[in-house]
Structure 1
Amino acid sequence: MLATRITELLGIEHPIVQGGMQWVGRAELASAVSNAGALGILTGLTQPTPEALAKEIARCREMTDRPFGVNLTILPTLKPVPYDEYAAAIVDSGVKIVETAGRNPEPYLPMFKANGVKVLHKCTSVRHAMKAEAIGCDAVSIDGFECAGHPGEDDVPGLILIPAAADKLTIPMIASGGFGDARGLVAALALGADGINMGTRFMATEEAPIHRNVKDALVAGGERDTSLIFRPLRNTARIYRNKVAEEIRGIEDAKLDAGEKVTIDDLMHLVSGERGRKVYEEGDIDFGIWSAGQITGLIHDVPSCADLVHRIVAEAEAIIDARLAGLRRPAARAAE
């Protein structure tokens, strides 16, 4: 068993956390991950109202008696989101772990702290991780450039970002972006993290509540089958490289080549959340944009969450006990 500061903090068996994913982080997946001994995460804003989130939390609790958390991503939106009410629904439902992302979660920390909620904040830079520690977050998830969704604008990969953050932080840290197997877990621990966050990898599991076509696309995809969009908007997002992604990139490039500014209005007809939701529900992988990280290049099957978690942990222990330990030679022999 791999015991770290994050397993102790969260009360989980294995140092693996499921990422919060829009339209994907529902009770079926979160409960399966938690039942496997890792930490499942419900995605708060997947639910249309705070009341619906409370019901989803109750549904997840019926499916697992182990710890699980809720992701609350705080972002500017065209339509106002009642973030205060979502936060209250989390607290009132008795959830004790929250993953925040997007904007600074400081306004919500007093309420979370007063109710014994552990707060993990997702960051894409060392400076933001240090700020999260300073305001009182219990842990951070440090997101490298390989990740799905929004990797920030610094373009720093995990191999550099994780140890750079480890050098500065004293609170536990989860490595995120590009993780999906035992090798990644061992590497993350060696780089100074206390566990890993897996989003895209958990999409390709039996319990993920998305269409099989999406899972099969992740298995078939390689490390080059993602695309970066919204770069001209300074809101970069990594998505699966499909026909819509290519169309978006074409519009962005054409505007830039013409010396014109790219605006969200140029792309709105292609990037609506409803189109992405239908991809997951109906299985047409080219209908809209959907998030995927570069880890798709290392996804080769669609196991159950339990099989995936247990395989990663068992193989990680074997790497540590056999391969790494076997690299060491007695000092006298090494000097020969």
Structure 2
Amino acid sequence: MLKTRVTELFGIEHPVIQGGMQRVSTAELVAAVANAGGLGFLSALTQPTPEALAQEIKRTQQLTDKPFGVNLTILPSMTPPPYEEYARVIVESGVKVVETAGRSPEPFMPMFNEAGVKVVHKCTSVRHAKKAEQVGCAAVTIDGFEAAGHPGEDDIPSLVLVPRAVEELSVPVIACGGFSDGRSLVAALSLGAEAISMGTRFVATQESPAHANLKQRLVEASELDTQLIFRKFRNTARVFKNTVSVEVANIERREGTEFGDVAELVSGKRGAVVLESGDLEHGIWWAGISAGLIHDVPTVDQLVSGIVNDAKAIINQRLAALVKA
């Protein structure tokens, strides 16, 4: 067993976490992660209403009796979702772990603290991680530049960003961005992190709701198959490289381009079609550089147990032999 402050904090068996992913982190995947001994996060905003989230939490509770959490991503918007209502549903459902991302969870901390909910905030910089600790987060997830989604604007990879966060923080650090296997877990632990969080790797599992075409494309991918977009708008995003994402990047390079010039290409509706239909050129879809290390589509249990067993073998055999030498 690999015992860390993260496994103790959340009452889980393995220091392996499945981060919240829009339209992917549903009950079947999250429950499978929990049953495998890891910690999975439902995506709150995948559900169209707070009431729908309550039902998804209930479905997950019917599939597992082990700990799991809910991701609540807080983003600026002209017409924001009812974040407080989603937060209240989480509290009232009995879920005891929340993963927040985007804006600071500070406005919701009194509600979560009163209910005994532990908050993990996703950060892309040390300065934001320190702020998360200050407002009372129980742990932070550090997203290196390798990560899918929005890896920030500092372009610092996990190899440097994770130990920098460990140096500055007293709460546990969870490493995210480029992590996918037993080697990754050992590397993260050696950097001072106390768990790894994976998104792209969990997409390519049997319990993931993503279309089989997408999973197979991840198996075929190399480390060169992601594309950075939204750089011009200071909202950098890492997605899979396809005709749409390359077109978006090319449009951005033109003088005077505004977000409205690419908005239709990057719409969430188009991305949903990709996941559901398997038409991989219909829109953008998230993927991290770790896609280059995905070579199969296992069950979640096979993936988690394989990661942990490989990590133990590396620590007990390869690294131990080096010390003896």
Query: What band does the TM-score fall into relative to the shorter chain?
Result: over 0.9
Identity %: 62
Which residue in 2 is equivalent to 1:307? 302
Which residue in 1 is equivalent to 2:209? 209
Within 2, Cα distance between the matches of 1:47 and 1:77?
Answer: 17
Which residue in 2 is equivalent to 1:100? 100
Kindly provide the CA deviation profile for residues 161-201 of structure 1, in whole angstroms up to 9, marking residues without a partner as x.
Answer: 00001101100110001000000000000000000001000
SS in 1 for 2:263: helix
What is the TM-score normalised by the length of structure 2?
0.99
Which residue in 2 is equivalent to 1:285? 280
Question: Which amino acid letter does the alignment assign opposite residue 55 of structure 2?
Answer: K
Correspondences of 1:59-138 after superposition (within 5 Å): 59-138=59-138
Which residue in 2 is equivalent to 1:246? 246
Within 2, Cα distance between the matches of 1:170 and 1:119?
Answer: 15
Within 1, Cα distance between the matches of 2:62 and 2:78?
Answer: 34
Which residue in 2 is equivalent to 1:156? 156
Kindly provide the CA deviation profile for residues 134-182 of structure 1, in whole angstroms up to 9, marking residues without a partner as x.
Answer: 1110000000000000000000000000000110110011000100000
Within 2, Cα distance between the matches of 1:11 and 1:42?
Answer: 17
SS in 2 for 1:265: helix
Question: Which amino acid letter does the alignment assign opposite residue 261 of structure 2?
Answer: D
Within 2, Cα distance between the matches of 1:40 and 1:268?
Answer: 31
Within 2, Cα distance between the matches of 1:171 and 1:133?
Answer: 7
Kindly provide the CA deviation profile for residues 39-80 of structure 1, in whole angstroms up to 9, marking residues without a partner as x.
Answer: 011000000000000000000000001000000000012432
Question: Which amino acid letter does the alignment assign opposite residue 97 of structure 1?
Answer: V
Correspondences of 1:180-329 after superposition (within 5 Å): 180-253=180-253, 255-256=254-255, 260=256, 262-329=257-324
Kindly provide the CA deviation profile for residues 62-110 of structure 1, in whole angstroms up to 9, marking residues without a partner as x.
Answer: 0001000000000012432110111011111111000000001000000
Within 2, Cα distance between the matches of 1:140 and 1:176?
Answer: 10
Cα offset, 1:9, TM superposition: 0.3
Gaps of 5+ in 2: none
SS in 2 for 1:281: helix
Within 2, Cα distance between the matches of 1:19 and 1:297?
Answer: 19
Which residue in 1 is equivalent to 2:39? 39
Question: Which amino acid letter does the alignment assign opposite residue 176 of structure 1?
Answer: C
Gaps of 5+ in 1: 331-336
Within 1, Cα distance between the matches of 2:188 and 2:323?
Answer: 20
Which residue in 2 is equivalent to 1:18? 18
Which residue in 2 is equivalent to 1:333? none
What is the TM-score normalised by the length of structure 1?
0.96
Matched, 1:178 2:178: yes
Which residue in 1 is equivalent to 2:140? 140
Cα offset, 1:263, TM superposition: 1.5
Runs of 4+ in structure 1 off by over 4 angstroms are none
Question: Which amino acid letter does the alignment assign opposite residue 11 of structure 1?
Answer: G
SS in 2 for 1:307: helix
Aligned residues: 325
SS in 1 for 2:69: strand
SS in 1 for 2:323: coil
Question: Which amino acid letter does the alignment assign opposite residue 41 of structure 2?
Answer: I
**Stretch deviating more after TM superposition (72-81 or 180-189):** 72-81
SS in 2 for 1:233: coil
Question: Which amino acid letter does the alignment assign opposite residue 314 of structure 2?
Answer: I
Within 2, Cα distance between the matches of 1:211 and 1:323?
Answer: 37
Question: Which amino acid letter does the alignment assign opposite residue 232 of structure 1?
Answer: K
Within 2, Cα distance between the matches of 1:79 and 1:244?
Answer: 27
Coordinate RMSD, CA, aligned = 0.7
Within 2, Cα distance between the matches of 1:177 and 1:195?
Answer: 12
Within 2, Cα distance between the matches of 1:16 and 1:69?
Answer: 13
